[in-house]
Amino acid sequence: MHLTKLALGLGLALGISFAASAQTTMRISIATAQASHQGVAIDVFAKEVEKRTGGRYRIQTFYNGALGGEREAIEAVQLGTQELVFTSSGPIPNFVPETKIIDIPFLFRDKAHARAVLDGPIGQELMTKFDGKGIKALAWAENGFRHMTNSKRDVRAPEDLKGLKMRTMENPIHIAAYKGFGIITTPMAFPEVFTALQQGTVDGQENPLSVIISAKFDQVQKHLSLTGHVYSPCIFLMNKGVFDKLPAADKQAFLEAAKEGARANRAKVDEDDAKGVADLRAKGMTVIDDLDKSRFVAALAPVNAQFEKEFGKANLDKIRNYK
């Protein structure tokens, strides 16, 4: 009897240790807070991976740039020192130049248009371009439409941007466009931005409402203008070598989990967009929501002519006119 119990106990102990050793832990990081739309994305993704693989994979989640800024995290994924990252499109053209096209200002009519483009053939084709860079793109998600904030003055017209020192993403398209507005561009990794605004190193920054709210920029910025000048996607990225080694069913589980994460992320962006303006006004920000967007589009005409030369007008029109 005791021997049977002992054998059973040993068997259970061995079974448990075997189960523990059979679990693979991977890491995923974001540059923003856990309470943000990006936090929602990776929390749902982690839960879905675990559920869909019967707990054989555990995803550890890191927030607030704990593993470095977006560019560093993408490099780590490319090198294989980190398995996964959820990043905005900001630094991605430095790794996959073909993605630059989606960062062009005023390219997308609204979120529905942008989501349709990314989830459709154009976006799926762009995802294949990561393969040759040692990265597997799992799913497009969302950062949102970007708006301008600053500590100096109300921005109602493009001329009001002239001479403002603004933090920008480490993104060549954004930098070229903002220089077209007369902005003094200061590329900077996201984890450094709050302090730079607080200390007056830069006057302002531009981000979607979801980021402005979760980063508490209202504490260091007085003026917000709903320029909606650039649509900013996010994307789930994985080290390609790690992805390729997964059995077919697990590959599918990771892809499906990323889609679920993207769905939850977009829903959070919608929620933040719906209540964000009232929220930020209540926190003391001056919000300009009635500016004439056509003037901002017109101010970028020379820069857009350059973009049409670089990317081909037909390629831009294909995105602009996508139904």
For position 19, what pLDDT does the model report? 44
Radius of gyration of the chain (CA): 22
For position 2, what pLDDT does the model report? 52
pLDDT band at 16 (very low <50, low <70, confident <90, very high): very low
Instruction: Please say whether the beta carbons of 190 and 73 come within 8 A.
Output: no
Pairwise CA distance, residues 241 & 227, whole Å: 40
Q: Which CATH architecture has domain 2-320?
A: 3-Layer(aba) Sandwich (3.40)
For position 30, what pLDDT does the model report? 98
Over 60: is that where the pLDDT of 11 sits? no
Pairwise CA distance, residues 1 & 298, whole Å: 87
Over 80: is that where the pLDDT of 10 sits? no
In this prediction, residues 217-226 reach a mean pLDDT of 98
Over 80: is that where the pLDDT of 21 sits? no
In this prediction, residues 83-92 reach a mean pLDDT of 96
Pairwise CA distance, residues 191 & 74, whole Å: 15
Mean pLDDT of the chain: 93
pLDDT band at 32 (very low <50, low <70, confident <90, very high): very high
Over 80: is that where the pLDDT of 29 sits? yes
Q: Which residues have C-beta within 8 Å of that of residue 111, sequence separation ≥ 6?
A: 142, 144, 145, 231, 266, 269, 270, 273
DSSP string, 245-299: HS-HHHHHHHHHHHHHHHHHHHHHHHHHHHHHHHHHHHTT-EEE----HHHHHHH
Over 80: is that where the pLDDT of 73 sits? yes
Q: Give residue limits of the domains in the chain.
A: 2-320
Instruction: Please say whether the beta carbons of 171 and 93 come within 8 A.
Output: yes
What are the pLDDT digits (tens) for 147-159?
999 999 999 999 9
Pairwise CA distance, residues 245 & 57, whole Å: 13
What are the pLDDT digits (tens) for 94-142?
999 999 999 999 999 999 999 999 999 999 999 999 999 999 999 999 9
For position 170, what pLDDT does the model report? 87
Distances (CA, A) of 191 to 3, 173, 263, 276, 312: 59, 21, 25, 22, 35
Q: In the numeric block, which tokens belong to residue 222?
A: 């007085």
pTM of the predicted protein model: 0.90
Question: What is the maximum span of the chain, computed from C-alpha positions, in angstroms?
Answer: 88
Task: Tell me which residue of 170, 164, 204 sits closest to 182, measured CA to CA.
Answer: 164
In this prediction, residues 288-308 reach a mean pLDDT of 95
For position 313, what pLDDT does the model report? 96
What are the pLDDT digits (tens) for 175-203?
999 999 999 999 999 999 999 999 999 99
